[in-house]
Amino acid sequence: MHAMTRLLMLALMGLGMACATQPPRWSTQEQPTLDDARILLEGDPLDSIARDPHPSALAGIPIRKRLRPCCAFGTGLKVRVGAVPVPGFRIGNLMGPDDVGPHTYDSGALTRSVDPSDARRGMREHNGLVYTCRGGFIDTAHLRDYVDWALYLGAEIARHIYDGTTIVLPDEGGQRRVVVKPVAPELVDRYGRSRMTIQLAEWVGFQLSIWHEIATWYGWSWVKTFPETASAFSPEDLYSNLLGVKVVIAVAHRRLTRTEHLFNRSVDAWSERLLEVLGAVPKSVGEDAMRAVDQLWWDSSRRLPDKELTLRRNFDTANPVTPWLVPADRAPESLREACGDAPEPLEISNPEGLLAFRFADWVTLEIDVEESLAIQAPFNEIGRTVTQADYPLIIEAIREQNREEFGPDADRPE
């Protein structure tokens, strides 16, 4: 989450900066082969025409570079700059499912949709927190971030599945890279390249999202003068992140990534349906839900970027991931009317492998942590280079620090 950076972006917009536009950056035009035509005419099942595209035919997805700012946990958030409170400025954060603008790959704060086929051409993404009956609070910016990351990673993995590669990512608390080992052709044939790479991208995309939470807990932020510790592992983060990589599975499985515009509109459609399944509520009900956990999950008397703004944090990286719902004894009447008295949380999974194929054996997220993190425990014991295999030790250390600062129940919703 980048709440303080969001303030800077809003300030720049107020100065009248022109909005950035973004032409399409990839497109593939697949052509049928003679074999495809023969199969169709010979009367074989239509499924026989389906095939994994050759790596050379895969679209060149550009790496993400922009900052999609959003959202500290809470509503009506007050702000300070240094020690000086900003009078009269509040961040609402809450949205309804109909308030979300069109998705744009690698969107920034000032990016607008330029899809000529989209009725919302020229509109910007509208990101915030949407409350859902079965998924709790969903951060739409986090969902979109990891839709985009999983798409990029999946395309790179698919292109290098046979020969392996190292995918260098922008620094975030250290130099990040995804190391992909060559996969034997017989394994690729057994599981299918599309199926394998989509699920590898889902898995490593979620690992990347966990690192973001770790880095921000230890003091890394996009803007050095505005710490993001208030946002690290906040109640909605991990579930929103995983929801994003799930969207990529649906979009990629249906071959809806062939062009940038098709991908963007497909993300919109799938995100809308997922929010519907989760039971997204109107903005006013979401605001009631957020106020219901004031002084339990967050503290409205605090100002950004106070770390103490977030009182409880969710460290649930295990499989499946369970969302935090507003406790029944705190649910306001509007939320009970929308969701019922005892809605069931909808757990979502992030599989560790595909039958006997274990993802961690073939793909590794490596981070050479920067000095400011390296001197802190437990990095001073692990060493400068960490991988997703080190997460349990790191997260347990964070959990203990969180309990010391916020109490023994600070990692639980109730």
101 or 328: which leads in pLDDT: 328
pLDDT of residue 224: 74
pLDDT in tens, 255-264: 788 889 999 9
pLDDT in tens, 286-323: 999 999 999 999 999 999 999 999 999 999 999 999 99
3-state secondary structure the chain: CCHHHHHHHHHHHHCCCCCECCCCCCECCCCCCHHHHHHHHHCCCHHHHCCCCCHHHCCCCCCCCCCCCCCCCCCCEEEEECCEECCCCCECCEECHHHCCCCCCCCCCCEECCCCCCCCCCCECCCCEEEECCCEEEEHHHHHHHHHHHHHHHHHHHHCCCCCEEEEECCCCEEEEEEECCCCHHHHHHHCHHHHHHHHHHHHHHHHHHHHHHHHHCCCCCCCCCCCHHHCCCCCHHHHHHHHHHHHHHHHHCCCCCEHHHHHHHHHHHHHHHHHHHCECCHHHHHHHHHHCECCCECCCCEECCHHHECCCCCCCCCCECCCCCCHHHCCHHHHHHHCCCCCCCCECCCCEECCEEHHHCEEEEEEECHHHHCCCCHHHHCCEEEHHHHHHHHHHHHHHHHHHHCCCCCCCC
pLDDT of residue 31: 58
Torsion of CA 241, 383, 177, 394, to 10 degrees: -10
pLDDT of residue 171: 95
**Beta strands 165-169; 174-180: pairing state:** antiparallel
| Mean local confidence (pLDDT), 172-187 | 96
Q: Write down the domain spans for the chain.
A: 54-406
- Identify which of 216-225, 238-247, 348-357 has the greatest average pLDDT: 238-247
pLDDT of residue 14: 39
pLDDT in tens, 339-348: 999 999 999 9
pLDDT in tens, 184-226: 999 998 988 888 999 999 999 999 999 999 999 999 988 777 7
pLDDT of residue 46: 44
